[in-house]
Amino acid sequence: MSDDEPATKAKPVAVGPPGRRLSRTQRAHEDRRLRRRHRHRRVIGGLGVVLVTMVVIAAVFLGSKLWHSRGPVVDYTGEGGQQVLIEVREGDFTTAIAETMLGAGVIANVGTFLDAAQGNAAIAMIQPGFYRLRTEIPAATAVQELSDPQNRVGKLVIPEGRQLDDTTDMKTNAVTPGVFTLIAEASCLDLNGDRRCLTAQDLRRAAATGTPQALSVPDWALGPVSKLGGDHRRIEGLITAGTWNVDPTAPAPVVLAKVIGQSTAQLTKSGLPATAEQLGMTPYELLIVASLVQREALPHDFTKVARVIDNRLNEPQRLEFDSTVNYPLDRQEVATTDADRAKVTPWNTYASDGLPATPICSPGSEALRAAENPEPGDWLYFVTIDKDGTTLFTHSYQQHLSNIEMALDNGVLDSAR
């Protein structure tokens, strides 16, 4: 081509097989196919975004949980909120106590409380029981409130020799609170301005109407307890002397069942059932003997009185203990009357042979040990001869009469036998 010839535009060169012209219908079909593919890609892409978002949210949530549980320590501030009741159980360590408080809303963080309690001797010595605390309080405040004796509630102390019902001394009119009254007092709870207490009558009714099984009466006492029917005194002695915990929020039957169950466990731990079997007695009979020992003597004579009981039962000879005459009386007297001694009751050992129908009080551990291990001797009689508690023991009835004369001369008649 010469420079004078006009330039011609280059045409595109087709690559591949020769193309074909699409009809209008084919082009419309192809357009629809391409649009469907595009929409499908957008849906798949959208689902991917949602999935990724959910994974991110989950990761943030879990990370937050881990951050709050293992990260910076949190704590409440301020004076706190409502009062709540928590229970410290037997065997609880400080961590378990902290977890209980956390669950009750008292503290905000277990670790914070453990740090605040570090080296605190009072916290280390916390006893099982029920404690009244405020919710949402700083860990340091929780340490103070938990270790304050005023915040422990439901503590029940039963002295040796108490019986279920209150007793009144005939001479002095002094009233000795019984086990029912002591439990009722221990059940009192002041919480957020409200006061709640069981009454002795509530407990007496529960003792009379609950089944022995529901009251946690041990198997070895079911027979004698059932025999007394609806008499509330059928559970006498099954709540032993000692320190127990009463749930202030529980109803009377539950409270009685709990304390009887704890007492039974303690008696079993002390070996009462096994020792009774060795002595040829039932555990219930041995418990009755211990209650007689408790009411008839001072501790230094417990083992001798236990021997007198054993010797009289083996004669056989009626026990004739004034304590068994006094037991069902509302007003008790040092020297019982002829009329009282003649009255037949399930407990009066002047009027009936053998042991009374139930224990006559809650014996302590010393009386129980004495009943299990009587001092060797042939004594059948004993009498306290002075106000210092000096007691003389003898096998001879004539000598016993002479000893009684000494007691009469000294104005002491309550223990003559």
Encoded tokens for 214: 């529901």
* Residue spans per domain, the chain: 82-152
pLDDT of residue 172: 87
Q: What is the pLDDT of residues 249-276, one digit of tens each?
A: 999 999 999 999 999 999 999 999 999 9
Neighbour tally for 75: CB within 10 Å: 18
pLDDT of residue 331: 73
pLDDT of residue 231: 97
* pTM tops 0.85: no
Instruction: State the Cα–Cα distance between residues 374 and 363, nearest whole angstrom.
Output: 15
pLDDT of residue 330: 74
Question: For the chain, which ranges sit under pLDDT 50?
Answer: 1-20, 22, 43, 47, 49-53, 55-71, 414-417
Name residue 71's amino acid. Answer: G
CATH class for the domain made up of 82-152 = alpha beta
pLDDT of residue 54: 54
Q: What is the pLDDT of residues 133-178, one digit of tens each?
A: 999 999 999 999 999 999 999 999 999 999 999 999 888 889 999 9
Spatial CB neighbours of 287, under 8 Å, sequence gap ≥ 6:
221, 237, 238, 267, 272, 359, 363, 368
Does residue 302 contact residue 368 with C-beta atoms inside 8 Å?
no
Tell the residue number behind the tokens 């040092």, with chain if given.
Answer: 334
